[in-house]
Chain A
Amino acid sequence: MSLQKERLRWQREVADPAVSRHKERKDGALTTSSGLPLERVSIPDDAGYATDAGVYMDRLGFPGEYPFTRGVQPTMYRGRYWTMRQYAGFGTARESNERFRYLLDAGQTGLSVAFDLPTQIGYDSDHSLSYGEVGKVGVAVDSLADMEILFDSIPLDQVSTSMTINAPAAILLAMYIAVAEKQGVSRDKLRGTIQNDILKEYVARGTFMFPPAPSMRLITNTFSFCTRELPQWNSISISGYHIREAGSTAVQEVAFTLADAIAYVEAALSTGLTVDEFAGRLSFFFSAGSDLLEEVAKFRAARRMWARILKERFGATSPKSLAMRFHTQTTGAGLTAQQPDNNVVRVALHALAAVLGGTQSLHTNSRDEALSLPTEESVQIALRTQQIIALESGVANTVDPLAGSWVVESLTDEIERRAREYLDRIDREGGMVRAIENGMVQQEIEDAAYRYQREVEEKERLIVGVNCHSNDRSVSCHDVMRHDPRVQQAQLDRLAEVKSQRDGAAVERTLRTLREAATDPAADVMDPIIECVRQYATLGEISQELRAVFGEHQQHAGM
């Protein structure tokens, strides 16, 4: 086997058909800034190094081909840049709608909705537990009426929308569909993602509602619904991001995310779906931290592992199933409240790691996110950071530019090896749901977080502005976004108005139908939920019906 021959075969079978569907920038005549030629995909032969072609093909292959180490598309960013998708949402639906439109005008190419915590946990704004939280970390959505305003003047057939929503994902998806109906947009045109990843909520993020078993059922219901009705929708975004932010290592981030993914695949298979029917709609979400080389290796290792797991463990054959597509957000925990302008530089490094790692979409954090929600100016710098990497750095002009770096390849192999050890251990525990229930996963993350912070305290790990070069430890920013204290009352007034204007009997009827469906484990709850939201039943009312049937998850503090 010669690699040159393999590249010609790949070009003919994979790259050329892709280019004929979607041209590369400058018709592929991309060069360095001095005009030096750049291969679409460089291989060891190009640099004059002899390589065992068998080993190369086994570990790396070519982009768009198994095992996808070098990327999920044959031309990667030479064809189209990653989607620049800033996570946004705060206050009322009207304010968030304005921020969305600002971002779209600034050149953002996808929406990403942040909901407030009551919405994420299925409480209406007037619930006692919502006190103080309404509109804080995201937008408050109580009913379809809020969702209509949130997407006002944003044609849903022209944007892709990612929604960070987990326990009540089915309800928010139903609202999105109902808004689309009102805009006259059919379901097959809707593009986007619901996070819908409950397992990581139990270990890292905390917005769970129901116990694991009914939660897994809700997720398989959304899988089936999306398979049937929403051909362009990602039914889940399996998230390592929050695991990493909770303090895990890069290896743990990969391992626990893949373990969650395996659990979802097994749950979906048990409902009768076949793997190639749904695996192509599973998407992933990772963090990008400061250790640039390790992060690049992590993304590459994760792609290769997912392809191997789906092929070897689940017998998937469709390339769409085997290709791990992921969103990346730059690390929040890696930003500092001290000397916050330095975060602009950190975010550029994090974003570069994500792009060198082959991400499909990217959120860059704003410099002030260790202090508050970002100002418009900070968000613009964050978005410009992505645009500078795309348009000026040149790293987007050749595929997987760090491939063949000895250190990056070694780290890629090592991350895979260590993550596999975790996967074996989780299998021995009886699977991820069991490993979460018995606290093994949480303990591993907590220990890693503790080690990290001790190292910072002992100055074995240096963070500029925090434990070195910290002449200025003030945590002030020239200008931060402040919450409008009137938001909570405005939202309460609005909710009362919606409740007074709807058809109460229709709400009662649809909620009853939903409860009956929830009670039958074989029934699908998606259609009944859509009926409820159409009648302006609130998120809290719908959640309450489900809580009554499914019960509530109680977390042990673990310490």
Chain B
Amino acid sequence: MSEKTRILIAKPGLDGHDRGAKYIARALRDHGYEVIYTGIRQTPESIVNIAIQEDVQFVGLSLLSGAHNELFPRVVELLRAEGAEDIVVFGGGIIPDYDIPGLKEAGVRAVFPPGTPIAEVVQFIEQCRTGSAQTT
């Protein structure tokens, strides 16, 4: 890597369950990425602002309250509106499998269910970096 890959891990919505978000942030850092964690209770607007300011290539969204169908697509839309559609958005949390196709259609590139090994997330990021990403 000539330049470190920068990843924003973000908690949209109002839920405070950040065990997963903190784990993924720390584990990705251990894999050599530069990771920024937003903390809980962020609006889609503030997430997009941070993503652009921090010049990240990836935004990982974590949500456990069930508001993913409303909030994940909103982050993608706002990134597009800011001309930052090259930033890859992925997600995780309590996301029922029947919601995943709709989220992907809205531009969320991958959704990782609970129990996903970190290696799968790393593989996804590396595939995106080298331009060979299959949507997971």
Contact = CB atoms under 8 A, between A and B. Distances in A.
Interface of A: 117-118, 120-121, 128-133, 136-137, 201, 204-207, 245-247, 333, 336-338, 370-373, 446, 449-450, 453-454, 457, 463, 466-467, 473-476, 480, 482-483, 555-559
Interface in B60-109: 65-67, 69-71, 94, 96-98
Contacts, number: 112
B19 A449 contact: yes
B67 A136 contact: yes
A555 B14 contact: no
A479 B16 CA distance: 27
B67 A446 contact: no
B15 to A, nearest CB: 6
Contacts of A558: 37, 39
B96 A371 contact: yes
Contacts of A482: 96, 98
Interface residues of B, number: 35
A205 B22 CA distance: 14
Given A483-B66, A559-B26, A370 B114 contact: yes
Contact of A206 (B17, B37, B117): B17
Contacts of A133: 13-15, 65-67
A296 to B, nearest CB: 24
Contacts of B23: 449-450, 453
Nearest to B66: A136
B5 interface: no
Q: Is the interface of A mostly helix, strand, loop or mixed?
A: loop
Q: Is the interface of B mostly helix, strand, loop or mixed?
A: loop
A372 B94 contact: yes
Contacts of A450: 22-23, 26-27
A392 to B, nearest CB: 32
A475 B66 contact: no
Contacts of B96: 371-372, 480, 482
Given A370-B94, A476-B97, A137 B39 contact: no
B40 A555 contact: yes
B19 A457 contact: no
A229 B40 CA distance: 37
B118 A129 contact: no
Contacts of B16: 201, 204-207
A446 B14 CA distance: 20
13 contacts: A117-B15, A132-B70, A133-B15, A136-B65, A246-B17, A246-B18, A373-B66, A449-B22, A450-B22, A457-B118, A475-B97, A475-B114, A557-B39
A393 to B, nearest CB: 30
Interface of B: 13-19, 22-23, 25-27, 35, 37-41, 43, 65-67, 69-71, 94, 96-98, 113-115, 117-119
Contacts of A128: 43
Contact of A559 (B25, B94, B113, B119): B25
Contacts of B15: 117, 133, 137, 206
A513 to B, nearest CB: 29
A247 B66 contact: no
9 closest Cβ pairs, A-B complex: A206-B16, A132-B70, A557-B39, A132-B67, A117-B14, A136-B66, A337-B114, A559-B37, A466-B115
Contacts of B39: 555-558
Contacts of A372: 66, 94, 96
Nearest to B68: A132
Contact of A337 (B98, B113, B119): B113
A555 B17 CA distance: 14
B109 to A, nearest CB: 19
A482 B98 CA distance: 10
B120 to A, nearest CB: 11
B41 A206 contact: yes
Contacts of B13: 117, 132-133
B56 to A, nearest CB: 15
Contact of A371 (B41, B65, B94): B94
Contacts of B113: 337, 475
Nearest to B29: A559
A230 B122 CA distance: 55
Contacts of B18: 206, 246
Contacts of B37: 557-559
A132 B43 CA distance: 11
Contacts of A129: 14, 41, 43
Contact of B115 (A337, A454, A480): A337
